Each structure stands twice: as structure tokens, then as C-alpha cells.
Amino acid sequence: MRVLIVEDERNLAETLQQMLKTNRFDSDICLDGEKGLKYAREGAYDLIILDIMLPKVNGFTIVEQLRNENNDTPILVLTARSSVEEYVHGLDLGADYYLTKPFEMQELLACVRALTRRHGEVVMDTLAFGDLVLNKSTCELSCGDRTIRLGKKEFSIMYLFMTNGNVVVSKEQILHNAWGIESEAEDNNVEVYISFLRKKLRFLHTNTQIETLRKFGYKLQEQKA
């Protein structure tokens, strides 16, 4: 599971990240709304933890824009306010749950589990593209009766490809999703893992390939017979 934390209080954001790591959730941190919206759009996240009072772009705007773009990632809103009007407004825009600061970490963790579990029930546990099926629980990629297990970064990259369908995915998006926002990994790291994935696709005898678009990125392409 991968979580995006959009919170301008650095200490709180880092505390949330450490708690999630302890409970086996990977996470990225954004300290302002502009960057948070950018990563929410580009990343393949299972949950967004979102503060309302953010620099540059506020949380309500982020919720509204994501829902208008048909992004259905569950959103857990954090707010220092507790007015009924604000609560109703956030839910009407498309937020899934509210927590008022200060809150207990165990309460937040319970919300995270509930929202990711609920999302999984709707989305199913597998993704499909062409003749490929990706199992999110086992990290296995299958084609017909052939199956191969993917490493953590290979899975993150293939998950990103399959959730984007025929849309081109940039190297920057891949770096952010597979290595994290603060990573010092570079383009050549992406190229190495694309090579690993292509070898596994050849093993599967799939007609779905990773196509390179120079200066733009990569996308999955189903080869027609």
C-alpha cells in the first residue's frame, strides 16, 4: 500500500510517515498543496492524507480537482477546525473521512486501514491490461498460464503503467512512485528497471510491450497479431 501525505507541518508529516512505515505502508510527503496536487495526479496511491490549511493550494481545492478528474483515490482529511459546515462541504466535494486535530495516532491508523480496505473491495485485487494481469496482493504478473513475481520497484512501475493504460508515463513519475520524492535516483535507474520488466514480459510470452517515446517516457502497448 502506498500513501500520499499532504501536510505543511513537517514534524506531523514525518511522524505520520514513520507510523505508516511501522505498519507496512509506504508513503510520500508533500509540504504544500501545489506539490500535493501534482503528486496526487501523477502517482498511483491507495490513500491520500490531506490537510485543509495548506500553502499555495488548499485541501478543498485539491479534493475538488481530483474528483472532477475522476480520481477516486480515498481521501482522509485532517483539519484544525470542527465546524459542521466545513465537514459537510468537504464530504460534498468528495472527501471520504474527516479527522479533527489533535487526534490519536491509533485512530488515524484505524481510518487508514478502513479506507484502504474499502477501496480494495471496490477496485478488486488485480489489474488487467491486454493479456496481462497484475495481482496486487502477491506482486505477481501473469499471462495465460505463466506467472512471474515482481520485485518491489518492478511492481511499483508496472502498477503505474497498468493504472495509466495507454497514457504515457514520464521518467519523473516513475522515479517518484518507485523510489520516492526525496530519492536521489536518476533516469538511468528507471532505464535499468524497464529493462528488467521487458525481460519478464518476454518470459511471459505476452503481446503487451513497454513502448519508449523519446523525450516523453513510456507506455504499455498491446501488439496486435
Residues 107 and 132 in one domain: no
Shared domain check, 134 and 47: no
Please report, for the domain that includes residue 141, its CATH number: 1.10.10.10
pLDDT tens-digit series, residues 62-118: 999 999 988 888 999 988 765 667 767 777 888 888 888 888 888 888 888 888 775
**Residue 83 shares a structural domain with residue 153:** no
173 shares its domain with 198: yes
What is the per-residue pLDDT across 170-223, written as a single tens digit (0 to 9) for each? 998 888 878 877 778 888 999 999 999 999 999 999 999 999 998 889 999 988
**Long-range contacts for 129-133 (Cβ within 8 Å, ≥24 apart)?**
129/161, 129/162, 129/165, 129/208, 129/220, 129/222, 130/206, 130/207, 130/208, 130/220, 130/222, 131/206, 131/207, 131/208, 131/222, 132/162, 132/201, 132/204, 132/206, 132/208, 132/220
Q: Same structural domain for residues 134 and 100?
A: no
Clarify whether residues 13 and 101 are in a common domain: yes
Among 68, 98, 123, which residue terminates a domain? 123
Domain containing 217 equals 126-222
Quick one: 71 and 130 in the same domain? no
Confidence band (pLDDT; 50, 70, 90) for 125?
Answer: low
Q: 109 with 88, same domain?
A: yes
Query: Are 79 and 137 within one domain?
Result: no
Same domain membership, residue 111 and residue 23: yes
Q: Give the count of domains, the chain.
A: 2
pTM of the model: 0.58
Residues 162 and 199 in one domain: yes
Residues 94 and 149 in one domain: no
